[in-house]
């Protein structure tokens, strides 16, 4: 199989992390998680750490230059033959434009998997996740959905125009979603 670059995109709580984990377990591909990196930065008692903490606690997305920096740093550290899964990147148009441009420039194939769920499902799932994981940003559901609709929905069109967008129904069980993802990627 050729080298793959996979991006999971979707609303908060759609199951990006779960599906990235399932795909990684099936393929052995490394996962690079944007949210995990931002939460790590937010623990630092620095100007950047405090600002990132304030933004994510309020349900806001970090600036695209920071997300792009983390993407490029991780991406350029990969060897030519390493397939990778990016979870939670491409949440704003400027970031997605650079991601698409960098991959095309390097002639590396890529797929963006958009896990589609309703806003009602997001609200229900984030309440449950807040209770089990205690993530503070799960309290800011309305703000996070607003950011998604304003900032991330336009990103989907960029990947669609690039011929790299695959729409996945995120409402069935996690196992059923995983089967659909594997099928869409041609993974047995």
Q: For the ranges 13-17, 58-62, 90-94, 157-161, which has the lowest average pLDDT?
A: 58-62
Q: Which two tokens stand for residue 43?
A: 């623990």
For the entire predicted model, the pTM comes to 0.89
pLDDT, average across residues 18-35: 95
- Amino acid 56: pLDDT: 87
Cβ pair 4, 185 in contact under 8 A: yes
pLDDT, the chain, mean: 92
Question: Is the pLDDT confidence value at 1 over 60?
Answer: no
Whole-number Cα distances in Å, 67 to 6, 73, 109: 16, 10, 21
Give the structural domain span for 98.
5-185
Domain count, the chain: 1
As a whole number of angstroms, the longest Cα–Cα distance in the chain is 47
Over range 59-86, report the average pLDDT.
91
pLDDT interval class at 137 (50, 70, 90):
low
pLDDT(140) > 90: no
Split at pLDDT 50, 70, 90, the class of 138 is low
CB 106 within 8 A of CB 5: no
Average pLDDT over residues 6-32: 95
Q: What is the CATH number of the domain that holds 65?
A: 3.40.50.300
Per-residue H/E/C for the chain: CCCCEEEEEECCCCCHHHHHHHHHHHHCCEEEEHHHHHHHHHCCCCHHHHHHHHHHHCCCCCCHHHHHHHHHHHHHCCCCCCCEEEECCCCCHHHHHHHHHHHHHCCCCCEEEEEECCHHHHHHHHHHHHHHHCCHHHHCHHHHHHHHHHHHHHHHHHHHHCCCEEEEECCCCHHHHHHHHHHHHCCC
What would the mean pLDDT of 69-82 be, rounded to a whole number? Answer: 92
Residues 103, 5 contacting (CB under 8 angstroms): yes
């Amino acid at each position: 199989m050729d080298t793959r670059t996979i991006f999971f995109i979707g609303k908060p709580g759609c199951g990006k992390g779960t599906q990235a984990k399932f795909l990684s377990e099936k393929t052995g591909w490394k996962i690079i998680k944007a949210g995990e990196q931002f939460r790590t930065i937010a623990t630092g008692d620095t100007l950047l750490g405090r600002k990132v903490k304030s933004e994510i606690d309020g349900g806001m997305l970090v600036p695209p230059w920071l997300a792009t920096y983390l993407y490029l740093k991780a991406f350029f550290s990969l060897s030519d033959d390493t397939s990778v899964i990016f979870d939670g990147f491409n949440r704003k148009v400027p970031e997605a434009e650079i991601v698409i441009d960098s991959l095309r420039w390097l002639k590396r194939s890529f797929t963006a998997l958009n896990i589609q769920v309703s806003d009602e499902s997001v609200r229900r799932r984030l309440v449950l996740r807040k209770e089990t994981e205690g993530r503070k940003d799960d309290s800011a559901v309305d703000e996070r959905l607003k950011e998604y609709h304003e900032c991330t929905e336009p990103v989907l069109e960029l990947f669609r125009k690039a011929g790299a967008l695959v729409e996945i129904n995120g409402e069935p069980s996690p196992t059923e979603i995983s089967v659909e993802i594997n099928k869409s990627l041609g993974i047995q």
